[in-house]
């Protein structure tokens, strides 16, 4: 059964409105800036709390238990246009015999469902949940496959292929671009990304620009891992320029999730 390592209530960064985000444990890639290192491994782990105690990360819930949990805040979803987001780790690499009934059941309660994904999963998995997902928060880290491999451990071919297929299937896509200064923030990279989106007729509802940040980096030490590599976020001025550049191509753009 998939493990959940966090149920975040009243989240405002994982899609529109007020949301409950379910964080599933396990990810097939290793982004060097990952701010949820406890999400990467598929097994239960121990983490040292800030107070020096040992805490177990990863708990299994039945589908019904999770549905019950997210239902508690239905009034907030309704008032804010929010819902539930499945995140991770990478939820699309979990057992789909669990994930598909979960999203189906949540949606049957009239709750909007979003899936946050890095795109590194078989497309059959996406197909299983397509009818029950209102939108995908789809991360595109690098348009250049070489860089994608260097900084996440895998090339971007599957990521781009799944993005294309999701768009062809009419999925609502919120494209999320993580911004790492000096690596993917130049005009050339942004234009290259836009050119690829246009060439492949990718229909994007909104582009979210996610500047690099270091929240959660203390968790590496508390998991007994070595410190992560540090990057830099572009300046606020540069973030605005990137936003403008994308808006010039008629995309709706927001800085932040």
State yes or no: residue 177 binds ligand SF4 (CB under 6 A).
Answer: no
**Residue 33 Cβ, how far from ligand SF4 at the closest point, in Å?**
7
Residue 27 or 171 with smaller CB distance to ligand SF4: 27
Residue 77 — φ and ψ, nearest 5°?
-65, -45
Classify 4 as helix, strand or coil.
strand
Decide if 204 contacts 251 (C-beta within 8 A): yes
Among 21, 39, 112, 185, binds ligand SF4 (CB under 6 A): 39
Candidates 85-93, 142-150, 233-241, 249-257; binding stretch for ligand SF4 (CB under 6 A)? 85-93
Least Å distance, CB 119 to ligand SF4, is 9
Question: Is 36 one of the binding residues for ligand SF4 (CB under 6 A)?
Answer: yes
Residues 6+ apart with CB under 8 A from 236: none
Residue with tokens 């992560």: 228
Q: Say how many residues make up the chain.
A: 257
The answer to whether the beta carbons of residues 88 and 27 sit under 8 Å apart is: yes
Encoded one letter per residue, x for contact with ligand SF4 by CB under 6 A and - for no contact, window 98-127 reads: --------------------x---------
Candidate list 4, 18, 22, 31; residue touching ligand SF4; CB under 6 A = 31
> Of 104, 170, 109, 94, nearest to 136 (Cα)?
170
Nearer CB in complex with ligand SF4: 16/28 = 28
Residue number, 76 or 220, with CB nearest to ligand SF4 = 220
Residue from 4, 22, 34, 202 touching ligand SF4 (CB under 6 A): that is 34
Task: Name which of 163, 18, 159 is nearest 84 in CA terms.
Answer: 18
How far apart are the C-alpha atoms of 219 and 248, rounded to whole Å?
A: 39
Shortest approach of ligand SF4 to residue 156 CB, angstroms? Answer: 12
Of 29 and 66, which CB lies nearer to ligand SF4 in the complex structure? Answer: 29
User: Alpha-carbon distance 210 to 105, whole Å?
Assistant: 30
Q: Whose CA is closest to 58, among 47, 69, 49, 66? A: 47
Q: How far is the CB of 192 from ligand SF4 (least distance, A)?
A: 21
Contacts with ligand SF4, 131-170, as mask; x by CB under 6 A: ----------------------------------------
CB of 27 within 8 A of CB of 154?
Answer: no
Any alpha helices (H) in the chain, and if so which ranges?
A: 63-71, 74-80, 96-108, 123-129, 145-152, 157-168, 187-199, 218-222, 236-247
**Which residue among 27, 121, 130, 163 contacts ligand SF4 (CB under 6 A)?**
27
Residue 34 or 163: the one with the smaller Cβ distance to ligand SF4 is: 34
211 touches ligand SF4 by CB under 6 A? no
Contacts with ligand SF4 by CB under 6 A lie at 27, 29-31, 34, 36, 39-40, 88-90, 118
């Amino acid at each position: 059964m998939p493990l959940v390592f966090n149920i975040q209530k009243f989240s405002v960064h994982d899609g529109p409105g007020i949301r409950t985000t379910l964080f599933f444990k396990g990810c097939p890639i290793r982004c060097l800036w990952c701010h949820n290192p406890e999400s990467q491994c598929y097994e239960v782990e121990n983490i040292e709390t800030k107070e020096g105690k040992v805490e177990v990360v990863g708990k299994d819930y039945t589908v019904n238990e999770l549905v019950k949990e997210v239902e508690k805040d239905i009034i907030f979803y309704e008032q804010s246009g929010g819902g539930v987001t499945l995140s991770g780790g990478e939820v699309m690499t979990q057992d789909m015999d669990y994930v598909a009934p979960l999203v189906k059941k949540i949606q049957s309660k009239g709750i909007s469902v979003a899936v946050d994904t890095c795109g590194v999963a078989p497309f059959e998995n996406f197909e299983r949940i397509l009818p029950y997902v209102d939108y995908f928060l789809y991360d595109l880290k690098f348009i250049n496959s070489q860089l994608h491999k260097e900084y996440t451990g895998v090339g971007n071919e599957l990521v781009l292929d799944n993005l294309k297929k999701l768009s062809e299937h009419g999925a609502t896509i919120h494209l999320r671009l993580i911004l790492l200064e000096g690596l993917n923030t130049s005009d050339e990279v942004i234009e290259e990304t836009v050119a690829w989106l246009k060439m492949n007729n990718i229909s994007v509802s909104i582009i979210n620009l996610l500047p690099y940040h270091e929240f959660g980096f203390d968790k590496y030490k508390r998991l007994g891992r070595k410190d992560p590599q540090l990057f830099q976020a572009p300046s606020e001025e540069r973030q605005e320029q990137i936003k403008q550049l994308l808006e010039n191509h008629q995309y709706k753009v927001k800085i932040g999730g």
